[in-house]
């Protein structure tokens, strides 16, 4: 049983420290493939706080550990961020890390360096309170999530051989407990036509028109998609995110066209089903539907990749991990947490979706701050997340 009063007291005591850590992480830019500098900062804190093991894997994820139990739980935070977008929409420097008006400001505060900062302080508390439970507590600070969510965990499981019994994603949940989200996939749709001079389009076959008909059919498909049976994750969606058409010149009928598709998958929907739905919607107009392959080279120089398919996941509300999370939160705050789900996607697509490692989510910050200008995170969320992470290992099934 956790000493809730001590954990909560320490989390609150270290609130300013956690905010300062978060500010420093925000000030250290970390776009995908450029995470090395911010990981060095995190490594410094892990060593300063007395983590028992601190190492990098071959891809460049930072893996830290406290305790030496035979079972394992992993707390995960991706430390790459999206870019700033139109800087004129920001009222502060996106990398200021300013702590003002009860918030930490800047790119990556909610998505999701706030989770990383809270993990560091939770580890500090576990060390200071002499944690010796039956679980080794891993803290994974992972790369490339924004480009290819879950790929970092594919490396951790398949190349490093680390497969914990349980895991927690510290993506923003507004300090609620999440137990699932929809999966997703990307698709490329190709169309072929026959070029002809623009003055006589009847001589050709316009690939752009084929693409246009398919776009309208996919708009209708999106309306027809059904929610999952228990209506927890909601309906799947399909969005045409890019459209292209090309021909021999600006005065010619285009002989090729393409669509790029973002498909969100609810429970029970598979990639095979999604591909067939697109093919059916476009019919004879479609030349091919493919799932792209992502590949990139990490800050450590390792090239790695995977298909852009990310499975749906959820665990039941009565699952022992969910109930452990409810117990930890209730012990800290005297009331149970709100249990819900994410709208967006996380590394959970691999951790639970692919590898079936039971996973919950609990993180500081709000989901609607992700990728938005003027991103910020409430300082008050930090000790709530910190104390939850430090208490949870004590509540796990023995």
**Domains of the chain, each with CATH number or no CATH:** 4-181+312-395 (3.40.630.10), 184-297 (3.30.70.360)
Token output for 314: 């959820």
340 is catalytic: no
pLDDT tens track for 118-155: 999 999 999 999 999 999 999 999 999 999 999 999 99
pLDDT tens track for 318-356: 999 999 999 999 999 999 999 999 999 999 999 999 999
Residue 398's pLDDT band (boundaries 50, 70, 90)?
Answer: confident
pTM exceeding the 0.85 threshold for the entire prediction: yes
pLDDT of 1 higher than 70? no
pLDDT tens track for 162-183: 999 999 999 999 999 999 999 9
Note the pLDDT of residue 343: 95
Averaged confidence pLDDT in the chain: 97
**3-state SS assignment for residue 394:** helix
pLDDT tens track for 277-333: 999 999 999 999 999 999 999 999 999 999 999 999 999 999 999 999 999 999 999
- Distance between CA 378 and CA 365 in Å, rounded? 6
9 is catalytic: no
Integer angstrom CA distances of residue 383 from 76, 114, 171, 277, 332? 17, 11, 15, 46, 11
pLDDT of 38 higher than 70? yes
Q: Choosing from 80, 269, 381, 395, which is the catalytic residue?
A: 80
- Distance between CA 46 and CA 51 in Å, rounded? 5
**Cβ distance 350 to 356 under 8 Å?**
no
Note the pLDDT of residue 60: 98
**3-state SS assignment for residue 359:** strand
pLDDT tens track for 353-382: 999 999 999 999 999 999 999 999 999 999
Q: Choosing from 145, 146, 186, 269, which is the catalytic residue?
A: 145
Choose among 66, 128, 18, 108: nearest CA to 383.
18
């Amino acid at each position: 049983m956790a000493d809730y009063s001590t954990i909560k007291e320490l989390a609150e005591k270290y609130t300013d420290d956690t905010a300062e850590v978060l500010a420093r992480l925000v000030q250290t830019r970390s776009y995908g493939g450029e995470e090395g500098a911010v990981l060095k900062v995190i490594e410094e804190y892990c060593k300063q706080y007395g983590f028992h093991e601190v190492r990098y894997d071959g891809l460049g994820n930072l893996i830290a550990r406290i305790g030496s139990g035979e079972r394992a739980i992993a707390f995960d935070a991706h430390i790459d961020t999206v870019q700033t977008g139109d800087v004129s929409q920001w009222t502060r420097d996106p990398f200021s890390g300013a702590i003002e008006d009860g918030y930490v400001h800047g790119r990556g505060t909610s998505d999701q360096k706030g989770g990383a900062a809270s993990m560091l302080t939770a580890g500090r508390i576990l060390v200071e309170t002499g944690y010796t439970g039956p679980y080794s507590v891993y803290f994974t600070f992972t790369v490339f999530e924004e480009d290819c969510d879950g790929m970092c965990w594919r490396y951790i499981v398949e190349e490093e051989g680390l497969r914990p019994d349980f895991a927690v994603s510290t993506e923003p949940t507004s300090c609620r407990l999440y137990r699932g989200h929809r999966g997703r996939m990307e698709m490329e749709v190709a169309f072929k036509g026959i070029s002809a001079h623009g003055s006589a389009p009847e001589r050709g076959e316009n690939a752009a028109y084929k693409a246009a008909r398919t776009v309208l059919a996919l708009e209708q498909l999106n309306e027809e998609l059904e929610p999952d049976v228990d209506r927890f994750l909601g309906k799947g969606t399909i969005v045409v995110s890019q459209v292209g058409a090309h021909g021999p010149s600006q005065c010619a009928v285009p002989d090729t066209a393409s669509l790029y598709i973002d498909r969100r998958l609810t429970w029970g929907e598979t990639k095979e089903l999604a591909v067939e739905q697109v093919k059916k919607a476009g019919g004879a107009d479609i030349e091919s539907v493919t799932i792209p392959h992502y590949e990139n080279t990490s800050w450590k120089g390792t090239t790695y990749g995977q298909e852009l398919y990310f499975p749906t996941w959820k665990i039941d509300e009565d699952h022992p991990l969910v109930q452990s999370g409810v117990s930890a939160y209730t012990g800290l705050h005297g009331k149970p947490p709100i249990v819900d789900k994410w709208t967006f996607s996380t590394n959970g697509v691999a951790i639970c979706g692919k590898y079936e490692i039971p996973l919950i989510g609990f993180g500081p910050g709000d989901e609607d701050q992700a990728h938005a200008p003027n991103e910020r995170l409430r300082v008050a969320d930090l000790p709530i997340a910190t104390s939850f992470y430090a208490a949870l290992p004590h509540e796990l099934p023995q």
